[in-house]
Chain A
Amino acid sequence: GAVVSQHPSWVICKSGTSVKIECRSLDFQATTMFWYRQFPKQSLMLMATSNEGSKATYEQGVEKDKFLINHASLTLSTLTVTSAHPEDSSFYICSANPGTSGYNEQFFGPGTRLTVL
C-alpha cells in the first residue's frame, strides 16, 4: 500500500514554456502532499506543501507565481513550472503521508526529471 505516482517521469522542454507535473496517491487519500526539488548531488529541498481545497504553502525563496500548485482532489496534486528556464532543470519529487503509520512517514513518488533547453 501507500503508492504515489508521478507523471511524466521525465520531460524536456524549451526555455519559456510551461510544464505540468502530476502527483497521485494511488491507494490512499492525501489532504497534504509535498513538492521537493533536488539538484545533482544535493539534498531534497522542500518547495511547498500542497493542501487539498486551499492554497499551497510555499517555502521561503520559492516563487509561488512561477511554481503553481493545484491540489484539486484528495488524490491529485499538480505542479506547473511556468516560463521554465535552464536553471529550473532539476529532479522534482512529490510525497504524501497516508496518516496510517502513526508517524510522519512520507511516501515518495518516483520523481520527474525536468530538462529545460
Chain B
Amino acid sequence: GQNIDQPTEMTATEGAIVQINCTYQTSGFNGLFWYQQHAGEAPTFLSYNVLDGLEEKGRFSSFLSRSKGYSYLLLKELQMKDSASYLCAAVDSNYQLIWGAGTKLIIKP
C-alpha cells in the first residue's frame, strides 16, 4: 500500500533551526510537496521536489532522496508565526497526492 510517515509533533525555539522528516512509499513517484497549514485554515504551498537534492527558498529548504524514499523540510531562523502543521504529500504514478498526517510544529519563545 501507499504510505507517508512524518512525526506527529515537534517543538523548537524561536530563532533556532528545525528539520521535519518525511518518508514515503508510493506506487510510482512524481515528486513530493510540502505544505504549511495553520489551524483552521487551508494548506499553502511551500515546496516541490522531484529531483534528488536540496532546494532552498528563503528560510525554508526542502531535500529529497528518491533512492531512500525520504524528504525533509528545514526551517531556519524560526519565528513564532511558523507555528503550524507541515504536511508532506507524495505524487504517485497516477498523479494523485498521497498525504501524510502532518507534523504539528510548536515554536517556543
Q: Tell me the minimal C-beta distance from B21 to chain A in angstroms.
A: 16
Which chain B positions have C-beta within 8 A of A60? none
21 A-B pairs with CB atoms under 8 Å apart are A41-B104, A42-B101, A43-B100, A43-B101, A43-B102, A44-B87, A46-B97, A46-B99, A91-B40, A93-B43, A103-B31, A103-B50, A104-B30, A104-B31, A105-B45, A108-B42, A108-B44, A109-B42, A110-B41, A110-B42, A111-B42
Which chain B positions have C-beta within 8 A of A42? 101
Q: Tell me what chain A mostly uses at the interface: helix, strand, loop, or mixed.
A: loop
Set B40, B50, B87: member contacting A43, Cβ < 8 A: B87
CA distance A107 to B87 in the complex (A): 14
Which chain B positions have C-beta within 8 A of A104? 30-31, 91, 95, 97
Q: Tell me what chain B mostly uses at the interface: helix, strand, loop, or mixed.
A: loop
CA distance A21 to B26 in the complex (A): 31
Q: A residues touching B (Cβ–Cβ < 8 Å)?
A: 41-46, 91, 93, 103-111, 113
Which chain B positions have C-beta within 8 A of A109? 42
Q: With A45-B99, A93-B43, A103-B31 given, can you name 9 additional A-B contacts, CB distance below 8 Å? A: A46-B96, A46-B97, A46-B99, A103-B50, A104-B30, A104-B97, A108-B42, A109-B42, A111-B42
On whether the beta carbons of A113 and B31 are closer than 8 Å, the reply is no
Q: B residues touching A (Cβ–Cβ < 8 Å)?
A: 30-31, 33, 40-45, 48, 50, 87, 91, 95-97, 99-102, 104
On whether the beta carbons of B48 and A44 are closer than 8 Å, the reply is no
CA distance A104 to B97 in the complex (A): 9
Set A44, A110, A111: member contacting B99, Cβ < 8 A: A44
CA distance A104 to B48 in the complex (A): 9
Which chain B positions have C-beta within 8 A of A41? 104
Q: Tell me the minimal C-beta distance from B59 to chain A in angstroms.
A: 20
Which chain A positions have C-beta within 8 A of B101? 42-43
CA distance A103 to B104 in the complex (A): 26
List 6 tightest A-B contacts by C-beta distance, closest first.
A108-B42, A43-B101, A111-B42, A43-B99, A44-B99, A93-B42
